[in-house]
Chains A and B, each alone.
Chain A
């Protein structure tokens, strides 16, 4: 089991968190939606695994490259 950081690819605000710790995700499943330039931008699981932690809350500002969740894969 490796712990994989799921990073925001853009600077944005956290709009809607869709996965919670313990959820099993397939590769490409949406973890959360960020909002940038009035668009909802999905953050997808880079591979299949279980969400170990969500590191941000709705409304938070995140930077490009910032880890927003941890995945056990």
Chain B
């Protein structure tokens, strides 16, 4: 007789089968008809999106079998309609991130099929595990539909008892981890809020539109507009509500990857450095003649940017908004920086109210993620005129200056041409030492001579027998004094440089700045 009784062979195969059956049901999403409609509309399903965005095979889903189940009389599961929020972890270019996406095939992405703890856990995971989050948004992004009142049996107080968790994280995460929003269909209400409350947002041109409320609701105001006319890419990128528009979902995924490549995974880390095979000392001869001598003529600032950064490393953000200021990310010697540059094609580079808003958000982001700032300056001042006054340009302007002054990241300015007035002073943070170089084409003043002379010398001009002649005389006299060399004589500007030296000096700056970056939460609490 054996002295022990053999254990009966057993396993958990039935339960495993049940798990796999439920997972398979969840992968059906809203069913073949809804999936076909999604594809017929030129849009991928949420699961296809996750697979294309993530590194191959890296998506690890959480809560896949959460949804609404239907059972037969014997208590057997008949079907499972999954939650229309799909989320999990994945890697993008081998760095871990959280991905969260709306499934439009299940009740159009609306709240009654979401299970609100899912998007909440995605945000919380990003926050507590210090991971970037990419939100793939379509529909009302987990917001309610009018029908919700019937399913819950009561009206929803937005943000009612215990209901502010998501809004808490959409705010907290902006100061904690990179947040990217991809609007890949009709995006309304809470979905629009989740798309706009990001560091970087992208929408597709043909298949996406974003609005607070869609065409049927807006029609009640007497505005009969289709989705694109109300919230298509041309509206939303020019309004500054969305940063960028692309032709395909695949491009949107590439933009998300590229954006994240310049940033640390959270405020607790530093932006990753990359190997660089572009000579830091490379001299660009084109820069010697790119700025026209004729001060009324403009030039292509983006050519200057492309010439000085590591080849191909410039990634622009928000091109269609606040267009007198170009903002984006670039690398110098492999080190990431936040780069701002004036665009003289738009109001000569003057800062409009929109430009100032753009600068505030961009500088807040640079400060939050420890990116040194490079600013290529050609600013004749704040925008002037009645329209500019009505837009409160000066208040937005001083707000942008405050954002600049509140940065603590290393800063380097290159004055390419103009620096005039208060906006001209806003080319480096006040109260701390930054690096500054002026090109040979630089010129500056409290205000431009043109127009300024008439104001300052009014009595002298009016008393002259030939006022026009007097004006010219004064202008000639003052012009002789405004050479930047006279400013350098008095050390009111530190250095005037050959423009061809610019790349070398900016690579030098990036190297000097590297050890000054601090991997820690900043004092700044960023807002969208």
Contact = CB atoms under 8 A, between A and B. Distances in A.
A39 interface: yes
A8 to B, nearest CB: 11
A39 B383 contact: no
Nearest to A42: B298
A11 B380 CA distance: 16
Interface string A17-47: 0000000000000000000111111100000
Between A11, A37, A42, the greatest number of chain B beta carbons within 10 A of the residue's beta carbon is seen for A37
A39 B448 CA distance: 12
B97 to A, nearest CB: 36
A9 B348 contact: no
Contacts of B383: 37
A40 B297 CA distance: 6
Interface in B349-398: 349-350, 380-381, 383-384, 387
A53 interface: no
Given A37-B350, A40-B298, A11 B387 contact: yes
A10 interface: yes
Contacts of B297: 39-40
B457 interface: no
Nearest to B384: A37
B346 A38 contact: no
B154 to A, nearest CB: 45
A39 B323 contact: no
B390 to A, nearest CB: 12
B348 A39 contact: yes
Contact of A10 (B295, B347, B448, B450): B347
Interface string A37-73: 1111110000000000000000000000000000000
Contacts of B296: 38-40
A34 B350 CA distance: 15
A9 B345 contact: yes
Contacts of A38: 295-296, 348, 380, 448, 450
Contacts of B381: 37
Interface of A: 9-11, 36-42
B387 A36 contact: no
Nearest to B323: A9
Contacts of A36: 347-348
Nearest to B381: A37
A11 B384 CA distance: 12
Nearest to A37: B348
Contacts of B350: 37
A40 B347 CA distance: 9
B448 A41 contact: no
Q: Interface residues of B toward A: which range? A: 10 to 19
A39 B450 contact: no
Closest 9 CB pairs of A and B: A37-B348, A39-B348, A40-B296, A37-B350, A37-B347, A36-B347, A37-B380, A39-B296, A10-B346
A41 B387 contact: no
Nearest to B344: A39
Interface string B335-349: 000000000111111
Nearest to A65: B238
A20 B296 CA distance: 23
B318 to A, nearest CB: 15
A18 to B, nearest CB: 14
A11 B387 CA distance: 10
B348 to A, nearest CB: 4
A11 B448 CA distance: 20
B236 to A, nearest CB: 15
Contacts of B298: 39-42
Contacts of A41: 298, 344-346, 348
Most buried by B among A9, A36, A39, A40: A39
A56 to B, nearest CB: 18
Interface string B418-462: 000000000000000000000000000000101000000000000
Contacts of B295: 38
Contacts of A9: 323, 345-346
A40 to B, nearest CB: 5
B140 to A, nearest CB: 30
Specify which of B296, B323, B387 lies most central, judged by the most chain A CB atoms within 10 Å of its CB: B296
B283 to A, nearest CB: 27
A23 B349 CA distance: 31
Nearest to A43: B345
A41 B346 CA distance: 8
A40 B344 CA distance: 10
Contacts of B448: 38
B443 to A, nearest CB: 13
Among B297, B347, B383, find the residue whose CB has the most chain A CB atoms closer than 10 A: B347
Given A9-B323, A41-B346, A41-B348, 6 more contacts: A37-B383, A37-B384, A39-B348, A40-B297, A40-B298, A41-B298
